[in-house]
Structures are given as C-alpha cells and as structure tokens.
Amino acid sequence: MNTTQMEKALSEAIGTFALVFVGTGAIVVDQVSGGALTHVGIALCFGLVVMTMIYAVGDISGAHFNPAVSLGFWIARRLPGREVGLYLAAQCSGAILASASLRLLFPAQENLGVTQPAGNIWTAFFSEVILTFFLMFVILNVATGAKEKGIVAGIAVGAVVCFSALVGGPISGASLNPARSLGPALFSNNFNSIWIYLFAPVLGALVAVWAWRGVGSGGSRQ
C-alpha cells in the first residue's frame, strides 16, 4: 500500500513533536527538579525518543524529524523535491506545538530548552556542523531509500543523537536540528544566535551527503 503525503506529514509532525517534547522537556524537568535527570539523563532522553519514533514511523515517512535531514535526503536524491516543503512544514509544526505544550505545562520557566552557545559562537557553530555531519552520514548509510527501518537504523541513529548530546550539549546545546531549536526559541522569546541552529545543521548535512557519495554509497544505494 502506498503511503499518502498526509500520512507522511502526520508521521513527521508526531515524531518531531515527540522529539522536542521529550528532549527539551527533559531539560525543563531537570531544571525544575534541581538536576534530578542530569546531563547524561537528558542525552539519553534525546537518543531514546529518536530511536523509538524511528521504529514507530520509520517505514511511513523515513523518520527524519529534522529539516536538515530532509534537505540532505533531497540533495542525495532520496526524497522527491515535491515532498521537501511538506516535510519541513510538518517538522516545524510538530516542534512548535511541542514547545507550546511545554509552555502551558511549565508557565514559570523562561527557558524551554532553548539552544545557545556556551562560549565562542564559532565553536558552537562548527560543533553543530560536525555533529550533524555524523548524524546525516549514519542516517544515509542505515536508511533504505528515503525510509529508515529495522533494528540497526533505530539503534544507530539514536546512539548518534545520544553521544552528540553528551559531547555537544555543554558547548552548543547539541541541537543538530533547526526545528528543535525553533520551537523553544519562539516560546522563550529568545532568538540569540538562532542563526547558528538554522544554518549549521544544514551545512553539516550537506557535507555528509558529499562524504556519503565519496565512500561509494551514493552510487550503490540510489
């Protein structure tokens, strides 16, 4: 049975909602609980929610949950151009709705998991580029066509998200995802350095496509 565009859009919206609600929600809960989750716990939340949602909808939409990933698939010729706008709109809508939900649940919290550089902005920028490169490179090599399915895909991608949050969290917030940063920024009214999180992940994803083609996958898996 062919998957309709509405099913793909809904899958991306739900998956991105889960990513932002659970991931940034973990940051908020850690703050209000005085550090009960810890940095490691937050990283695990991000990795686990991505892994589980890949298993849930990977065979429907590909489980991108990330505009940078969708653009990467498009450049890699593994996502039709006519679907790119649909994916991006669904992902941003899911992220915004998740942050709106967290604002309702935690009205006193000024910071809803907004991503900001911890120090030098260029250190944060290139951290986002490099970590998104790893994410996109792994996704391209474990995905089938434009879809992700099977045990390997969920574990591999979830692990990349987890170790990226562990390493990059204290430096840049380890967004790797324009939608994940957009939602919290809107509802925290904090757009400081938002350009980093809109452009760096896209650059990292595009470099990953080039590298994926360079190691031979581009020719053998299209």
Categorize the per-residue pLDDT at 1 as very low, low, confident or very high, splitting at 50, 70 and 90: very low
- Residue 139 has what pLDDT? 94
190 CB contacts (<8 Å, ≥6 apart)? 111, 114, 116, 184
Categorize the per-residue pLDDT at 150 as very low, low, confident or very high, splitting at 50, 70 and 90: low
Residue 218 reports pLDDT greater than 60: no
DSSP per-residue string spanning 27-70? HHHHHHTTSSSHHHHHHHHHHHHHHHHHHHHTTTT----SHHHH
Looking at the structure, give the CATH architecture of the domain made up of residues 5-106+115-220: Up-down Bundle (1.20)
Categorize the per-residue pLDDT at 144 as very low, low, confident or very high, splitting at 50, 70 and 90: low
- Residue 84 has what pLDDT? 96
- Identity of the amino acid at 147: K
Residue 34 reports pLDDT greater than 80: yes
Q: Domain segments of the chain: what residues?
A: 5-106+115-220
Query: pTM of whole model > 0.85?
Result: yes
Range in 62-66, 80-84, 151-155, 198-202 with the lowest mean pLDDT: 151-155
| 77-117 tens-digit pLDDT | 999 999 999 999 999 999 999 999 999 999 999 889 999 99
DSSP per-residue string spanning the chain? -PPPHHHHHHHHHHHHHHHHHHHHHHHHHHHHTTSSSHHHHHHHHHHHHHHHHHHHHTTTT----SHHHHHHHHHTT-S-HHHHHHHHHHHHHHHHHHHHHHHHH-TT-S-SS----SS-HHHHHHHHHHHHHHHHHHHHHH-BTTB--SHHHHHHHHHHHHHHHHHHHHHH-----HHHHHHHHHHHT--TTHHHHHHHHHHHHHHHHHHHHHTTHHHH--
